[in-house]
Amino acid sequence: MSTPIPARIAALREMMARHGIAACLVPTADPHLSEYLPAHWQAREWLSGFDGSAGTLLVTAKDAGVWTDSRYFSQAEQQLAGSGIALMKQRVSHAPEHLTWLQQHLHQGDVVAVAGDSVSVAIQRQIERLLGSVGATLRVDLDLPGMVWHDRPTLPHAPVFEHPLTYAGTTRAEKFEKLRNAMRKQHATHHLVSSLDDVAWLTNLRGSDVECNPVFLAHLLAELSGQATLFVDRDKLNDDIVAALHTDGIRIANYATLADALGELKASDTLLFDPGRVVSLVLQAVAPDVKRVEAQNPSTAFKAIKSKSELAHIREAMRRDGAALVRAFRRLEERLAAGMTQTELDVDALLRDERSAQPNFVGESFATIAGYMENGALPHYRATSEAHNTLQRHGLLLVDSGGQYLGGTTDITRVLALGPTTSEQRRDATLVMKGMIALSRARFPKGASGPQLDALARAPLWASGMDYGHGTGHGVGYFLNVHEGPHGIRPPVSGTTLVPLEPGMITSIEPGLYKPARHGIRHENLAVVVEADQTEFGDFYAFETLTLCPFDRRALEPSLLNPEERAWLDDYHATVRAALAPLLEGADLAWLQKHCAPL
């Protein structure tokens, strides 16, 4: 029988008292600082019962709280009910962030613990500065959650496979030569890479250790000399892959031996690492006299800019993905019209069924969000067999889904009108569409960053006194993580580095609007930055929309769109119709043509 959440927190507090710990921090993190975690490192979820993808648990002798953002307020409130753990809302006026709250509740001599394999070097330093201001200290050598989590899942053991060069486009040797050129510029003899998507991209390997993300647990230590070591479970690799890696100068070492290798670095060596992507525990193995260079992983910038070959494959993946969605949406409409009972779970199954029939489909890029009416107001909602809505012949259904293909990663959101809609629903959907069109049509100078463009998508909502609590766009990997840096489109945050948008970068464009207990709106396409103009003021860039699937115009109020917005929508639908028609026939083709007709 599963241990109740209050008993888990009590066990943690007992362990804290045994070790003299005043507060325990449990972030959502693993030794690779991934966004989505293997079950082995989901300690925050196990201790609190809150299973959102973002949040930090903070436990003291008397208090316990989970800090999370607006995407999860409703979900966290439900899942934390009765646990004795409070919901602490992040980025809300007059509400302290978790480190500020901690600083306010500590005393001289108090000790705070956080597992060293779940906190980055950069965050460790930030915590230590805050604690130092009140005379408290930090320990990173205690994994207190691990001490009380007795049935903790083991590490995943999924096999690793080659990303075929036909799709990868660039050989390992070419990628490592580019990496070593960047190391030379930093005067580094060694470079540690712990982020899983960087490791996968550099090695042209993929796996399935993390749900929906084609990555595998591994660290990589590259040497300027031409050698590299991949720290990975050898049993995940077949002999052909090991031989191919050896040919490219990459040897295999056990996943658990990274610290031993780092401990062998000499005073004459210089280690390059990203303090935001390497955990504290790993760096403890490096001798103090080894020189260090702290900078972003060069591969993070390399993989963010898609090559012409990658973009060609991505465009084809978008066509196949769009055709799959057309078939799924048409089938859903047909079932509802026939009076069949359909739930949010059926929507998920329909999308999976149609995507899996597409060539080179590997899996979903994230868990499908199919939220009908009030469930659409939960930005990261996920229907379960225990809790889901049955669809009716009225109102709005929000569907956010994506696929992993050998030739690319997709992420798309559409809002479907299942029947009659209210004037409020249509107005809201149209205001969000106006923001999406404004950003999609943007022209911007070279050097501009996402935070400088974010307001374009929000302005129509702001004019009506409304807003949304998430970013407007995130980078997307190439048959990799659906959320990828270093760029993004979000409101400016003080103290953060502005990353310029460059040609070849892919971003989502996904403004939204959420009215709790009523409905949610989000329109989302993926777009790639392209060169647009050269003027006397310099180079200007624009977005080329990549996603190919009709918007449901029945959810919109066309009278609220100006002529330029109507023209953009008609042009987009003409492009969708031309791209998808050759892949469809019969009722599916008729559905496409109907939904792509001009306004």
Beta bridge partners of 577: none
- How many domains is the chain partitioned into structurally? 3
Residue 37: closest CA among 210, 238, 194: 210
Query: Which is it for strands 228-231 and 219-223: parallel, antiparallel or unpaired?
Result: antiparallel
Widest CA span in the chain: 74
Single-letter amino acid, residue 186: Q
Torsion angles phi and psi, residue 431, rounded to 5: -60, -40
Q: Is the pLDDT of residue 410 over 70?
A: yes
506-509 and 270-273 strand pairing: unpaired
pLDDT at 378: 87
Cα within 13 Å of Cα(204), Cβ side: 21
Euclidean distance between CA atoms 15 and 147, whole angstroms: 8
- 155 domain-assigned: no
Indicate the residue among 265, 298, 331 that finishes a domain: 298
Contacts of 400 (CB under 8 A, 6+ apart): 368, 369, 411, 412, 413, 522, 524
In a domain, 12, yes or no: yes
Q: Is residue 519 pLDDT above 90, yes or no? A: yes
CB 86 within 8 A of CB 113: no
With contact defined as beta carbons under 8 Å apart, do 363 and 403 qualify? Answer: yes
Mind listing the pLDDT tens digit for each residue in 467-513?
998 999 999 999 999 999 999 999 998 878 899 999 999 999 999 99
pLDDT band at residue 95, thresholds of 50, 70 and 90? confident
How far apart, in whole angstroms, are the C-alpha atoms of residue 584 and residue 328?
A: 12
Edge-to-edge strand ranges of the sheet holding 538-545:
443-445, 538-545, 525-535, 506-509, 473-475, 484-489
Bridge partner residues of 87 (DSSP): 66
**Residues linked to residue 396 through DSSP beta bridges, in sequence order:** 417
pLDDT number for residue 69 = 87
- pLDDT for 142 beyond 80: yes
pLDDT band of 86, cuts 50, 70, 90:
very high
> What contacts 467, CB < 8 A, 6 or more positions away?
458, 461
Q: How far is CA 487 from the centre of its chain?
A: 12
Structural domain of 265: 161-298
Average pLDDT over residues 514-533: 97
Q: Are 323 and 331 in contact (CB under 8 A)?
A: no
- Boundary-marking domain end, from 109, 124, 148: 148
Angle subtended by helix axes 172-185 and 196-203, to nearest 10: 120
Residues 123 and 241 in one domain: no
Residue 436 pLDDT:
98
Tell me whether residue 63 is in a domain: yes
Mean pLDDT score across all residues of the chain: 96
Rounded to whole angstroms, how far apart are CA atoms 207 and 480?
A: 10
Distance CA 420, CA 347 (A): 19
The answer to whether residue 517 sits within a structural domain is yes
For residue 111, list its beta bridge partners: 137
The beta-strand segments (E) located in 419-524 are 443-445, 473-475, 484-489, 506-509, 512-515, 519-522
Q: Which amino acid is at 347?
A: V
CA nearest 116: which of 147, 152, 142, 87? 142
Same structural domain, 188 and 79: no
CATH of the domain at 187: 3.40.350.10
- Domain boundary residue among 115, 148, 181? 148
- Would 339 be classed as within a structural domain? yes
Residues 294 and 330 in one domain: no
Residue 153 belongs to a domain: no
**Do 105 and 169 sit in the same domain of this protein?**
no
Q: In this structure, what CATH number is given to the domain that contains residue 567?
A: 3.90.230.10
Domain-embedded: residue 169: yes
Task: Tell me if 266 is assigned to some domain.
Answer: yes
- Segment 31-54 mean pLDDT: 94
SS3 401: strand
Measured CA to CA, the distance from residue 413 to residue 252 in angstroms comes to 41
Do residue 497 and residue 389 come from a single domain? yes
Residues 73 and 136 in one domain: yes
Residue 381 has what pLDDT? Answer: 86
Q: 502 and 386 share a domain?
A: yes
- CA dist., res. 528 & res. 475, Å (int): 10
- Residue 438, class by beta-carbon neighbours within 10 Å (0-12 exposed, 13-18 middle, 19+ buried)? buried
* C-alpha 490: how far from chain center: 14
Q: 350 and 281: one domain?
A: no
Same domain for 459 and 356: yes
* 1 burial type by CB count under 10 A (0-12 exposed, 13-18 middle, 19+ buried): exposed
Which pLDDT tens digit goes with each residue over 433-476? 999 999 999 999 999 999 999 999 999 999 999 999 899 999 99
Q: Is the pLDDT of residue 1 over 60?
A: no
On whether the CB atoms of residues 165 and 264 are closer than 8 A, the answer is no
**339-391 pLDDT per residue, tens:** 999 999 999 999 999 999 999 999 999 999 999 999 999 888 888 888 899 99
Q: Give yes or no: residues 393 and 474 share one domain.
A: yes
- pLDDT of 494: 81
Percent of the chain at pLDDT exceeding 90: 94
Tokens standing for 160? Answer: 């690793």
Based on the fold, state whether residues 535 and 428 are members of the same structural domain. Answer: yes
Residue 322 reports pLDDT greater than 60: yes
Residues 359 and 218 in one domain: no
Q: Provide the pLDDT confidence category of residue 75 given band limits of 50, 70 and 90.
A: confident
pLDDT of residue 103: 92
